[in-house]
Each structure stands twice: as structure tokens, then as C-alpha cells.
Structure 1
Amino acid sequence: MSYLVDTNVLSELRRREPEPRVVRWLEARPATTLYLSVLTLGELRKGIEGLAAGARRHRLLDWLESELPSFFAGRVLPIDHRVADRWGRLLAQAGRPMPVVDSLLAATALTHDMIMVTRNLQDFGFAGLEVVDPWTHEGGVHTSG
């Protein structure tokens, strides 16, 4: 079983006092089962760029540019042809506008047969996508309908 980790999960780890359930949930999985999307890296970059210059911004940049690439080496997924194809089908089936980043993350998870790890279950209500919220369900997985 592999997991696509959403931005809000990684951001939680950078808090002064991260939620213990999130930390436990991640630590209970082998690192080799945890993946990122390039989109998550972009969202993290956007957030850090919005911070004022200072020690916190410097620490977060080091984390983004050094620690994350090292920890997730070989496990950062691109938006490739297969993901783009799945995304297009997902949008067509939805029949309604969907947030671009969330729907691309969903398409990535579906393409690679992964479980989406996020706090925002409502953002990933896509048919067949398995989602887990480590804030509330340390071991549980929800399949959206």
C-alpha cells in the first residue's frame, strides 16, 4: 500500500507542536510507501515565498530544498501523460468545476493506485479515491463514492 501525502500533512510537521496523531500515523508507515506530487512541492514553495525574510523562512527553505528531496528521493511523482489522461476523464465524469490542484492530486493517486493522505477529505470526493485523514483516523481509510 502506498500513500500520496498532501501539502497540509507536511505543513503540520513543520508546526511548533505538530498534532501527535499525524506524527504517529506517518511514523507507523515505512518511508518507502510515502510519496509526494510535484504539485505539493509547488504549494509548499508558494507558502514559503509569502513569508517575510527571517529565520523561519530560512529554515523552511532549507527543509523544502534539502530535507524533503532527500527524504522523498525517488518518490516525487510528476504530472505525466497517464496522470493528465486520468485527470481529463475525472473532470469529464464530475460534470462540474473542480479545483485544479486537488483534482490533479486525485488523478495522481488514482493513476498510481495510492491512498490520498489529507486533512481535507471534502476536497477529494472523487469516485473510487481512497482517502485517509491522519488527524482523525490513525489507521482508517475512507473510499469516496
Structure 2
Amino acid sequence: MSYLIDTNIVSEIRKGERCDPRVAAWWAGIDGTDLHLSVLVLGEIRKGIERARRTDPIRAEVFERWLAAVEEHFAGRILPIDRRVADEWGRMIAIRPVPTVDALLAASAKVHGMTLVTRNLRDVADLGASVLDPFDLPTPPESG
């Protein structure tokens, strides 16, 4: 199974030891080659960098390095928005209003036969895409 990872999940994984244990356990149990990003996730990270740059240039540079690491980690597994995705997005937003990026991610996941991994289930519910919120998974047992 292949997964399309939303920004909120990539950001959670970035926390390292502070990452939610359910998300960390799910991530660790998946073959990395099954994890994909959309160019939209890179754009959302870029938006955060540019906002930070105005008030905290040092923090912006930390995020800049993180973005480069994310791009390297997902090299060859970053999906564009193409005509098929745009068509599916149009069908989805005709059902009900949905935030644009969330609907495009759901459309991309559906077109590519992937499961969208996101914390925003409410935004993409009932759009016909397979979705998973790893924050809703059972808490893994403590290893000792």
C-alpha cells in the first residue's frame, strides 16, 4: 500500500522524540518507499519558512535545512498536480466546500491509488479518497 503524507504528519515526525507515539509507531512500521509527498506539502513548508523569515531568520534557516532534508528523503516520490488530479479535485469540491490544499491532496491520493495520511479527516471525509489519521490509532505498548 502507498501513502500520501500531509504536512501535519511530516511536521509531527520532525519532532523526533517529542513525536506522538502513535504517529511514530505507524511511521516506523511502514516501508519508506511506500511514503510519498505532494508538491503542495513542499509549498506549505515553504510558506512557513517565508513567514518565519520576517520575524525569526535563524528559525527560518533551520526550517530551510529541514525542507532540503525532506526533499532529499522523498526524492523520486514527490507527486505533481496534473490534469487528472485537477479533474478529480473539481469533482470533489463540487460535493461540498473543502480547503483547496486538503481537497487537492485527497484528489491526488485518489488518482494515484494511495491513502492520504492526515490529521484533517474532517476536511476530506466523504470525498471518496482513502484516508488515515495515525493520531487515531491505538497507543503502542511501552517497550522496556
State the superposition RMSD in angstroms. 1.8
Once the two structures are superposed, the pairs formed by residues 129-144 of structure 1 within 5 Å of their partners are 129-137=129-137
Match of 1:23, as an amino acid? A
| Partner of residue 116, structure 2 | 116
Match of 1:124, as an amino acid? V
Match of 1:135, SS state, is helix
| Partner of residue 41, structure 1 | 42
1: CA distance, partners of 2:13 / 2:127: 29
Match of 2:135, SS state, is coil
Percent identical: 51
| Partner of residue 60, structure 1 | 63
| Partner of residue 21, structure 1 | 22
Structure 2 segments unaligned to the other structure (5+ residues): 139-144
> CA offsets per residue over residues 34-93 of structure 1, 9 Å max, x none?
0001111111111122223344322211010x211111011100000111111112223x
| Partner of residue 141, structure 2 | none
Q: Please, what TM-score do these two structures have when normalized by structure 2?
A: 0.86
Number of matched pairs: 136
Match of 1:50, SS state, is helix
Give the superposition deviation at 1:133.
Answer: 0.9
1: CA distance, partners of 2:127 / 2:65: 37
2: CA distance, partners of 1:100 / 1:73: 25
Verify the 8 A CA contact 1:117 1:133 in the aligned structure 2: yes
| Partner of residue 6, structure 2 | 6
1: CA distance, partners of 2:127 / 2:91: 11
Match of 2:66, SS state, is helix
Which stretches of structure 1, 4 residues or more, deviate above 4 A after TM superposition? none
Q: Decide which structure has greater helix share.
A: 2
Match of 2:65, as an amino acid? D
Verify the 8 A CA contact 2:98 2:124 in the aligned structure 1: no
Verify the 8 A CA contact 2:106 2:127 in the aligned structure 1: no
Q: Please, what TM-score do these two structures have when normalized by structure 1?
A: 0.85
